[in-house]
Amino acid sequence: MLELQIISNNEEGFGVAIHEGTRVLIAGGLAGETVVGKITYVGRRESFANIIKLLKRSPDRAPSAACTMGKACDGCGLMQMRYPAQLAWKKEMVSRQIRRYPSLSGAAIHDVIASPSELGYRNTAKLVVAGKHSDPVIGIYRRNTHDVLEIEDCALHHPLINKVVKAAKAGIKKGKVQIYNPKSEMGLLRYLVVRVAEPGNQVMVVFVTTDQGYNEMHHLAKFIQQAVPEVAVVAQNINNSTGNVIFGHKDRSITKAQSLKAFIGDKSFNLSPHSFFQVNSGAARIIYEKVREFAHLSGKERVIDLYCGIGGISLFLADRAREVVGIEVVEAAVADATANAAMNRADNCSFEAGDAVHLIDEIGEEGGADLIVLNPPRKGCEEKVLKSVAAINPARIIYVSCSPETLARDLDILSGLGYRTLEVQPVDMFPQTVHVEDVALLEKVQDLKA
């Protein structure tokens, strides 16, 4: 037990204190607080502690926790913080990354736009099923372990996801469904994937199993549908590999309905079991509308949407562009994007599956681009992709990122390729967590000597 003074919060939300020259990371601690902490782990460079008693409280601390699992689950690094303070902390984090590069010193960094919902916003959950059928555990892996932490009433999950989890547990007990054990490699049910299509609040449930288990899965599906009438689609995915990848290659429908229709703004999207879809629909709409605002389209432009996923940004730009071409490496996502364009009557949208490096050159040669949108995964863009984008010479680039660190790195590379970052707009896609999305606007520098 130690008395610790917290001097700051690190990038993962832990309070940071120094004790006898060693950094101590305190789960749930806030800058400016003094706590009695219990050391839970001692490492060479840093140790970890839990708060036993608050001696001095930060004014930024939330009056009461929205979740009682904070000490056990470290998924929500900022839940102890009042929401306005979370937004200020995220702006500071984005600013710190951007300001590391002198080339970005002129970029305006705006205040973080809040999520429409602070809690209950996650429309998708991919959960591990563990334990025995007599006492099932459904939840997530604890960090750096294979222990499964039960999550029955997650404050971030859409309430219908929590209802499905409770029903699934009861159904597993009743049907004596054998649960997969990774050590013995025996058992049937491995994962439970739940997705809610907003605003209609219809639910899709996917059982990931090692084998067909026809009877067990049909009975479990029926049980869950009776308990939660909003469940419209139940599917099964068979994954008999031994790794931690959730989905296997074989799918089977249990219900007649095989997909759900979700909306972001006035655009509709077809969701199948494997579709990638933003987990916070309200914040996704803010991001897509910000991209449309930054794009400043007149109807004459050709747009390339790189890493387009199922076509969300493409569809938001299609109304105001001459043509939108989406590029995505995942073939299933391209099939979804093509279907979504047809459903939204966006005849000027087309999508191609393939590697960004090869396709961007090809599509650029076909007709250039007035605007290129980049929305890469967390690791950011390969430098070859950025060079190819700059070679097409668009007047504007919009970069959507879920990592301030790789965003800043790539904006710096683009500045060396003739593109000035004008502004960065952070959007809080993931309240209560340390993650933040950013939309950056870049323009071609007309005279590099100037």
Indicate which residues carry an active-site annotation: 402
Strands (E), 171-282: 189-197, 202-209, 231-238, 250-253, 260-264, 267-271
Residue 309 is encoded by which pair of tokens? 């996923």
Residues in Cβ contact with 408 at an 8 Å cutoff, skipping those fewer than 6 apart: 97, 98, 100, 101, 104
Q: Residue 237 annotated as binding? A: no
Contact 190, 129 (CB under 8 A): yes
Q: Residue 348 annotated as binding? A: no
Residue 394 is encoded by which pair of tokens? 């668009």
Alpha carbons 296 and 298: distance in angstroms, whole number = 7
Residues in Cβ contact with 144 at an 8 Å cutoff, skipping those fewer than 6 apart: none
Residue 23's CB is within 10 A of a number of other CB atoms, namely 16
Strands (E), 354-435: 371-374, 396-401, 419-427
Residue 173 is encoded by which pair of tokens? 């007990």
CA 15 to chain centre: 24
**250-253 and 302-306 as β-strands: parallel, antiparallel, unpaired?**
unpaired
Residue 402 is encoded by which pair of tokens? 């879920």
Strands (E), 277-395: 302-306, 323-328, 349-353, 371-374
Contact 237, 273 (CB under 8 A): yes
**371-374 and 302-306 as β-strands: parallel, antiparallel, unpaired?**
parallel
Q: Residue 340 annotated as binding? A: no
Q: Residue 375 annotated as binding? A: yes
Per residue in 304-342, is it b (16+ CB within 10 Å) or e — as a string? bbbbbbbbbbbbbbbebbebbbbbbeeeebbbbbbbbbe
Helix (H) or strand (E) holding 89: helix 83-98
Residues flagged as binding site: 278, 307, 328, 375
| Residue numbers belonging to the annotated binding site for S-adenosyl-L-methionine | 278, 307, 328, 375
